[in-house]
Structure 1
């Protein structure tokens, strides 16, 4: 498989980093107003490619540089023959610098200017959000809140410039209220907050325009994170050697399925098999063995009544512990057995809850923790709201405290490891159903067993899992998508 490298991934930045990139680009000889014109021209191209039949547009301009981009776009729209409604948060005389120059450009092009009033009706077939940009820090209030409410109530498609107003560029959280865009065209450096948290519900399609700025040329401004790309799959899943045998391809042990909770462990073990493990063993409550044999006879199912029996199972390459584990004596004994092993671990579900309550000090470098926001909150000793308010910070904090690699699941899943933070742009709401995390854990088990890098295995597992969900949804829709549907789609993905 390929080696771990972020070089092929799109870098993601914070708002402060992008402002510094902007400043340095201007200091390097590009006039700031010329950069504003580039941004507006790129946004206009994005507009035209998505709404070629539009004959009217409403452009809502704030008082900062984001508003300046909007003024220039309004001029371009007028010059192209569209009917333009331009609405400004501030009167012309209150604008300064490049923003004033942009507003004057639009006026010279014949674009009218209205100041926002509570009675204002948004008349354009498409609305352009050039209100706030990335500078927002506190909650949206006052007149801006009323404008965003009007935009969302208009039911017209919205093109957001740089970021939907009301979304935090650094965390993806909604700061009180946010614009619901159909498309977001973002400039210079892609922002981490566009890809995780609440943001995916507000950005629509993301169109990244670097405006000629080579962000990674500034070596002292390292990306805050990276965006995973499914091109990694073709690099990682090359054809197998013609003389491969099952001993070369990893032995995964899934430990879970307490009495009465067998389904999760069966899903995890079957997913491990479908991802191409040479052998898969399952340590589960004896009552679930028959179901496992019927469901997937290729999995070597063992009935165990406690940790002592589990520890006597054949040697394996990686242990997946947690699916259907429960938190009573059986689950505690099984997890203790797994923790006593020096093998790489994938820790999920109730194993995470037991780590939080009974093994709060345990840290190791050879495990992958896969919490959803609730489990992450228990591990961090905070609320779910705290986790969701800053998902990147939560993922990093967990990785610092517990070591190894942490996958914070949810919209825009995050993988925090020694190499930094990566964001998964794939996945869909159809995956909000029981068992999806168990399938991910099983997939991770196989990839770890076949890969020297725990972190790369985590990246690949997150991509395969999310892309399999997307392919399944594309084929038959999001509603009714089951965790067990993913294995067959995942198998296609790993055989490019």
Structure 2
């Protein structure tokens, strides 16, 4: 199995890695280009061993240079190669021009782009690299559309799927839908969030023989979230353990018509291993909320005064699932802002917070893009345009730890940002966020730090969903389907 490094970089940071290798380690740009082409071709051959015909699309930059070099090496290995040239040779860098000359030395000639891609086994996308910062237009957009419209050919992108922003994971108008992306020197953060996972396919990485000592001297932008990092915190419990050792989680939510959200949150917290679970909910349905889960201690509350009695006993609070925004929920929200115990804020708790912004260091906020937009006074599309920037802005404004949910969920405490690579589209269903709120609350109750609870909670949530989807498929996946798999993961099974 190909294991990716944890370190993630912006496009500017990967350019700095490239510059440092060339200037300080005296490896030429052309040599790096040749290594990259060889690595990409090797992965192509391992992934699709039956492929005989390769079509390479080359732009004018160094990404195109990688394509010319790959085409050259593929010809030498006996492949039938077509090369579609979109860039102007007189505008190429010295390294890219050198690679083009190497391709021409084989006796092959570049072809001009037409509106269709001839039948081929594999398309190699070498149009744009990681420096793209403007919308794709003209014949480049037409070429990408033609690549995406091919039926049988597999697609390999060099560095990044052309049209994808390396920093944000946003599609710049149109992007290649790759089956495989081969990244070099440093993994770009945009591969793993927003549109990045959908357009990148399976991601491979090659450091091109870069010394490990170089990476230790250069900053990263973020890191991949790894389950392995948190396994030591899931060691077997002491034989003398009792429920008081594992905290008391209070779930506050479940307004009229939304009792299920509180129930999902509470049961998820229980299955995560919290010692005690209490639920403070609307009187309308309090009497039946725990009928088939009697371990939950359910209380009907009418006011903030009722809630205060429960808050005294709790060690951690998960606030917001099914909360609503009315005369029942708003007084409780106002009273909770005065509480100094660790808490997880989700759903309508975040919507209420957007109307009364407060900075606190002891909470975890878990917005989806719409809630994030309300917290920052912008649209969800603006949030999705730069998720890394958005999660940092929320953390700076509200404090604590912020989980920006979505494809490639981000966890940020102000100094470190982690990116989740687990989860699947089946999670786009009601109750999934409530389950996450309960899972994180359950971990907090067991005395994990805010950042560790948020990070491990996101990982467990996504991994459990992936296991459930593998078992029965993504469509029809429900929040409570995660719980058997969650329990196995927590017990390292």
**TM-score higher than 0.5 here?**
yes
Give the number of equivalent residue pairs: 486
2:125 corresponding residue in structure 1: 129
Are the counterparts in 2 of residues 57 and 123 from structure 1 also a CA contact under 8 Å? Answer: no
List 4+ stretches of structure 1 deviating above 4 A.
91-94
2:334 corresponding residue in structure 1: 336
Alpha-carbon distance between aligned partners in 2 of 1:278 and 1:412, rounded to the nearest angstrom: 31
Alpha-carbon distance between aligned partners in 1 of 2:174 and 2:253, rounded to the nearest angstrom: 42
Alpha-carbon distance between aligned partners in 1 of 2:82 and 2:227, rounded to the nearest angstrom: 41
Alpha-carbon distance between aligned partners in 2 of 1:248 and 1:113, rounded to the nearest angstrom: 69
1:74 corresponding residue in structure 2: 71
1:203 corresponding residue in structure 2: 200
What displacement does 1:30 show?
Answer: 1.0
What displacement does 1:82 show?
Answer: 1.4
Per the alignment, in what secondary structure is the counterpart of residue 133 of structure 1? Answer: coil
What displacement does 1:452 show?
Answer: 4.1
Task: Give the one of 285, 288, 292 matched to 1:291.
Answer: 288
1:40 corresponding residue in structure 2: 37
What displacement does 1:291 show?
Answer: 2.8
1:5 corresponding residue in structure 2: none
In structure 1, the gaps of 5 or more residues are 1-7
After superposition, give the CA deviation of every residue in 1:218-262 in whole Å (9 maximum; x if it has no partner): 555311011111212422211111111100011100000112210
> Is 1:175 the equivalent of 2:167?
no
Are the counterparts in 1 of residues 62 and 93 from structure 2 also a CA contact under 8 Å? Answer: no
Alpha-carbon distance between aligned partners in 2 of 1:334 and 1:263, rounded to the nearest angstrom: 19
Per the alignment, in what secondary structure is the counterpart of residue 329 of structure 2? Answer: helix
After superposition, give the CA deviation of every residue in 1:373-418 in whole Å (9 maximum; x if it has no partner): 0000000001111101000000000001100000000000001113
Q: 1:9 to 1:112 in 2, by over 3 A?
A: closer
Q: 1:475 to 1:117 in 2, by over 3 A?
A: same
Alpha-carbon distance between aligned partners in 1 of 2:467 and 2:230, rounded to the nearest angstrom: 15
Of the structure 1 ranges 475-484 and 334-343, higher mean CA displacement relative to structure 2 is found in 334-343
> Is 1:478 the equivalent of 2:470?
no
After superposition, give the CA deviation of every residue in 1:1-52 in whole Å (9 maximum; x if it has no partner): xxxxxxx970100001101100100112111111111111110111111111
1:356 corresponding residue in structure 2: 354
Q: 1:281 to 1:72 in 2, by over 3 A?
A: same
Alpha-carbon distance between aligned partners in 1 of 2:22 and 2:424, rounded to the nearest angstrom: 39
Alpha-carbon distance between aligned partners in 1 of 2:415 and 2:45, rounded to the nearest angstrom: 39
> Is 1:325 the equivalent of 2:327?
no
What displacement does 1:274 show?
Answer: 0.2
Alpha-carbon distance between aligned partners in 2 of 1:291 and 1:49, rounded to the nearest angstrom: 57
Are the counterparts in 2 of residues 189 and 215 from structure 1 also a CA contact under 8 Å? Answer: no
What displacement does 1:109 show?
Answer: 3.1
Are the counterparts in 1 of residues 249 and 269 from structure 2 also a CA contact under 8 Å? Answer: yes
Q: 1:425 to 1:142 in 2, by over 3 A?
A: same
1:157 corresponding residue in structure 2: 154
What pairs with 1:457-496 in structure 2 (closer than 5 Å)? Answer: 457-496=453-492
Alpha-carbon distance between aligned partners in 1 of 2:91 and 2:267, rounded to the nearest angstrom: 64
> Is 1:17 the equivalent of 2:13?
yes
Q: 1:234 to 1:194 in 2, by over 3 A?
A: same
What displacement does 1:423 show?
Answer: 0.5
Are the counterparts in 1 of residues 396 and 414 from structure 2 also a CA contact under 8 Å? Answer: no
Alpha-carbon distance between aligned partners in 1 of 2:288 and 2:420, rounded to the nearest angstrom: 34
Are the counterparts in 2 of residues 129 and 158 from structure 1 also a CA contact under 8 Å? Answer: yes
Of the structure 1 ranges 47-56 and 371-380, higher mean CA displacement relative to structure 2 is found in 47-56
2:418 corresponding residue in structure 1: 422
2:28 corresponding residue in structure 1: 31
Q: CA RMSD in A?
A: 1.5
Are the counterparts in 1 of residues 346 and 437 from structure 2 also a CA contact under 8 Å? Answer: yes
Alpha-carbon distance between aligned partners in 2 of 1:326 and 1:275, rounded to the nearest angstrom: 25
Alpha-carbon distance between aligned partners in 1 of 2:395 and 2:485, rounded to the nearest angstrom: 30
2:429 corresponding residue in structure 1: 433
In structure 2, the gaps of 5 or more residues are none
2:398 corresponding residue in structure 1: 402
Alpha-carbon distance between aligned partners in 2 of 1:270 and 1:232, rounded to the nearest angstrom: 26
Task: Give the one of 367, 376, 379 matched to 2:363.
Answer: 367
Task: Give the one of 241, 245, 251 matched to 2:242.
Answer: 245
Alpha-carbon distance between aligned partners in 1 of 2:119 and 2:485, rounded to the nearest angstrom: 45
After superposition, give the CA deviation of every residue in 1:433-490 in whole Å (9 maximum; x if it has no partner): 0000000000000111113411011110000001111010011100000011111111
Are the counterparts in 2 of residues 85 and 123 from structure 1 also a CA contact under 8 Å? Answer: no
What displacement does 1:318 show?
Answer: 0.6
Task: Give the one of 281, 287, 304 matched to 1:307.
Answer: 304
1:4 corresponding residue in structure 2: none
Are the counterparts in 1 of residues 246 and 447 from structure 2 also a CA contact under 8 Å? Answer: no
Alpha-carbon distance between aligned partners in 2 of 1:215 and 1:117, rounded to the nearest angstrom: 44
Per the alignment, in what secondary structure is the counterpart of residue 129 of structure 1? Answer: strand
> Is 1:222 the equivalent of 2:235?
no
Q: 1:415 to 1:437 in 2, by over 3 A?
A: same
Per the alignment, in what secondary structure is the counterpart of residue 285 of structure 2? Answer: helix
